Every structure is written in C-alpha cells, then in structure tokens.
Structure 1
Amino acid sequence: MITKPTLFIDKTKCKENIQRMCSKAKTHQLELRPHFKSHQSLEIGRWFKDFGVNKITVSSLAMADYFSSEWEDITVAFPTNILEIETINDLAGRINLNLIVEAEDTLAFLSENLTSTLGVFIKVDIGYHRTGVAPENLALINQLLSQIDASDKIQFKGFLGHAGHTYKCRTNEGILEVHQKSLEIMARLKNAYGERYPGLIISVGDTPSCSVAENFEGVDEIRPGNFVFYDLAQNKIGSNDISQIAVAMACPVVAIHKDRLEIVVYGGGVHFSKDRLEGEKEGTVFGRVVEQSERGWGDIIPGMYVKSLSQEHGIISVPGSMIDQYKIGDCLMVLPVHICMTANLMKSYHTFDNEVISRL
C-alpha cells in the first residue's frame, strides 16, 4: 500500500531502453561504457551485464567504490579530486580504475602519491564549457602527455568529452549539429595523436546524442546514462518518446481545492528536486500526471501537471472537467522532469511486483 511518495520503476521499459542502447553500440562497433550516476543501483547494473556490458562510468569515487564489488573496469568521469588519494589508491589496487585529468598539478600529485597503476583520460572541452582542456591548446595537451609518459603508475587511455550542451537543444537537428561538432573536435585529436598512441580511446557520450545520432565515426566508446530511465527533460530535448520513460512517482492526494482547480499532493522538492521545464504552453512545469493502470502507467493526462513545488507539497493543476474525479487518499502518478536528481533523493525504486530495488 502506498502511504508516501514512492518512486516506481517499470522494469520492462527500463530493460528495453538498455537493450536499445546496447544494440546501437553493437551496430556501430562501439564500446558501451554506460554512466551509472542515473540509477546508482547494483541490481539495475546487473541488467546491463545481461546484455554484455562489462565496463561502466560513474561520477564520484564513492560511486566507484559502491560498484567495485561487482564491476572491475570503472571510469570516474569527474575531475580527479586529489584529496581522495587514499580512496583512489584503494580502488586502483582492486580494479581497473580510470580517472580524468586536465591539469598539470593533478598529474604531478598522482605521480608522487599513487601506489597502484591506473588509467587516465585527458578531459577535452568539446563545447559544453564546464570543464576540460580547450582542444586547440595543444601545448597543454602535450605537457599533460609528457607527464603521463614519465610516470610508471599512470597509463594514457585517450581523450574524453561530454557534449552536455545538447541538453539545451529542442530538436533532433540541434542535437545532431552539436554531435557533429564534437566528432570533428575529437577527430582532430585522434589524427594528431593516434600514431603516437595507437590504442588511444575516443570517449564521448551524452544521452541526447547517443539516442538520436547514427554517425559515430572516429568514436571508440560512448557513455550515456540517463537513457536507462529517460524523463520529461529528455523528451523535450527529443531523446525519447513519453512511452519510454521508465520511472514515475506515486504521490498521495492530501488536499483538493476545487475553486482553484488544484490538487495538493504529498510530493515536493525533497522528492522531485526543483528541476523544471520552462516555456511550456502551461508555463513552468515540474512534472506531468499520467494515466494509471494496474501494473504501471500510460499516457500523460492533458492539462494535469505539477505547477509548483515546495519542500513537501506539490500543487497539481487539474482541468475543471476532471477535478471531481479525485478524492483525498488517492494517489497520482507523476513523471519527473529530471530523474537523476529524483532518484538520488528517493534512494530506492519500487516495482509493481512489490520488489524494492536499493541504490547507493
């Protein structure tokens, strides 16, 4: 029985999403190293193994430690935090660990303090402008490579980029334009350094590009993550159909204000986060209500959406023709805007077979 906000997962949809991305990687002869920051679950991770995945990406050393009990090849796709050197050394002594670097100081510290061998990718800024070396800064790239070559504990793996600016796109054409520019940047680096490092890996991978694109020329590895669940934000970008969203939040109805055509649910910012969709026809949207079925959910209900969130409250706008259909004690199923944040807040997933799937 649902008594409080509960995050449900549709296992069939989730596994279909995994299979679809694995098939795309196989078709294009790519290594799929999925990012596990979206689900952060050992059990869901095992579903990837069923499709032949054996390498993963995470966004923190704590996450790497959690998954190291079942995964032997892990890339931490976040700038190396040298203050966690004890954890780095512990992990590097147990698994094939890859870090990302972009600074001379980071490499100097690793060279002095590593006790086991690990791999590093040089992070390249391919247009997102969050982190990474500017691809035209060959002087810095050459200096980083010289430091790597001089270390007996550090192995150069290749160049890694993240086209996070696809999240600002709203059409497939926009996604593909960003993706193509990313390919061109990485191709120049591969041409410049491929002879010197014949095994270097070009690693890219955001969910929009990996969902939409069919050209991965020059790429060796992709690292999408959100695709395992998808969400409303990805749908707005153009990555997925609503029918592919594999998670929804069940929220109890705690108050009804017919005069305002609003329902209050137990489900607020501490459950969904406050990610939102701006510029929708209704204005700002924090989630959308979907039709319920005995073992899941269906289409979005037109005109029913989360219009505001406070800490515990969610305010649902309801069409006047539907307001009388609901009563206090009902539960509404809501698709989240950003599932990575929502799942991180909720800490577990429930299935319609009364299973609870834990996560980090």
Structure 2
Amino acid sequence: MVKVPRIKLGSQGFEVSAQGLGCMGMTAGYGPTKPEADMINLVHHAADAGVTLLDTSDVYGPEVNEILLGKAMKGEVRAKVQLATKFGIVYENEAYGARGDPEYVRAACEASLKRLDIDCIDIYYQHRIDSRVPIEITMGEMKKLVEEGKIKYVGLSEASASTIRRAHAVHPITAVQLEWSLWSRDVEDEIIPTCRELGIGIVAYSPLGRGFLSMGPKMTESLAEDDFRASLPRFQAENLEHNRVLYEQVSAIAENKGCTTAQLALAWVHHQGNDVVPIPGTTRIENLEANIKALFVKLTPDDMAALESVASVDAAKGGRYMDGMPTHLTSDTPPLSSWKP
C-alpha cells in the first residue's frame, strides 16, 4: 500500500497527511446514513494508508458523524490521526444561520469532545462566521479553549480575507477551510493570497465538485431524496447542460493523461501548492484508494494551462449553495467596539 506523504499545515507546527478524508457523506447530506461498521472500516483503512486528517462537524447528521468518528478512533487509531471538527452552523426557523457568541462556542466544543470521546480536538474550525458577532469575540473564546488544552489548533471555514486578518490578530489561525476545485475558484482573488501572506494553511473541501468532477451530470440521476445536492443551483437543469461541457473537457484531458477525471481534478488541487490539503469525501474504500493515487499524478505546465483554458474562474454556471446559506461572501463581522454582551 502506497503511503500518503505528510506536510506542515500552517505555521504552528501542525503536521498532517497531504490528503485528508471528508467524513460528512458517511452520515449526512449525500443520502442515507451508511452502515456504521463499513464506515469505521473505511476510516481504519484510510489511517493505515497514511490519510490522517479526518474532517467532521457537529452539524453533520447532526451530531451522529462525530459519534461515528469517536467510535472509529478507539484504541491505537487515535494516535495515527488528526481530528478536525467544526461549530457554528445552526438551523433555526427553517433557515441556516451561524453563531459565534462565546457561550455557544464553549458549549459546542464541550459537546463535540463528549461525542468524539476525546480530551482534545486537533483543529477546531468555526464552520460559518456569525456576522452579528465581532470575529475578535469568537476568537477570544477559541483562544481560551486552546489555553485550557481542549483544542490544539484553530481554523476558520468560509471566511473573507478581512475576517481572516482580524481573527489571526487575536490568535494564530492554522488553517482556513474553503471550497476550491476546478469549478469553484472564487477564493483565488483575495482569500488564498491572504492565507499565504499570513502563513495559514489551506484545506480544500469538495475538491471533486461534490461528485460532479467524478461522474459528471449522470450523478444527478441517482441522487436520493434527502441528498442536498439536488437543491444546489449548479445541479439544476438550467445550469447542468452548461456544466456538462466543463466536465467533458476535463475528462478529455484526463483520458490523454491516463488517469480518471476525479484523479485529474484532485491532482490540480494538489498542484496549487504545498500549503494545500484537499479533503475529498467518500464512503468506498476503492474510491479512497483511487483518490490517494491522485497524489502521484504529475501535471506539467502544459497540463495546467490546458485545465486553465477549460476551467477558468467563471467556467461553472450556478451558485455553490442555495440562497440564504452563509458563505465567505457574508462573513464580515461588526467592529469590536460595537460588541455588547
């Protein structure tokens, strides 16, 4: 079995596998919950292969994904992996929102530690930024959690460049998690350069376009009723035909390269720099092994130029999320001086 290399993520000494494992689909979002024993076996297989960065959140399930990983990490596995979880997404009044007030941050961390059955979270992300709470207030509480030994490293997800700067001034941010792939490139203008200026690692979620860069439009034909991708703009009929062309063009390049479309898409993310860790999700061991092989697909400057010509920043049609979902576009927070507990 080929071992996954390790890299330094951020500037605080956090060392992880160069490719992680997104665990959401094991219990949430992408159809029915998968058999627990199979998912635990998958996590163990990933750890044995050197995929050490496991990514979850309290909102996946909700909560059951953390419970699953807690079971999977029992025994010697815990020493092999780094566990990333998140807080901050709330679902209230039939709408998604975010919370970042200190009381919520602490309560969420304590609850995650209990579900995961661990003493310390390796990296704890604010999943979505609460635009009502100055980021300094949220970060102040996360800093306390670090000082208390409940979390080792701090991360942000879907944060704007200005929010990242303000947060980093309170406590060093080790990683920013963001959607980055051949069809999601809006972060390249401001957010990626800001992370690199500050020495912050980049964790790319949905590097396979939520499966679109693996299977293309045919993936939409078998989505379960509770698969949230069915409601995303990019998978709607008016956009799907446009995005089909993007998939077919990337597939043609992959065929010439002698790899799968998914491996080419993952390799493109890996080639963005040694500060980038993609976390493709899967529920199948064979897909996990295929994803690992993407680490060894070498792209030439001509290959990168060919991909750039078909997958430009605005190549995909349709929004990443449905209306109302908090993203980095809505993540700026009020000034600290405005805070009234």
TM-score (norm 1): 0.41
Flag the structure with more relative contact order, 1 or 2, with Cα contacts below 8 A and sequence separation at least 6. 2
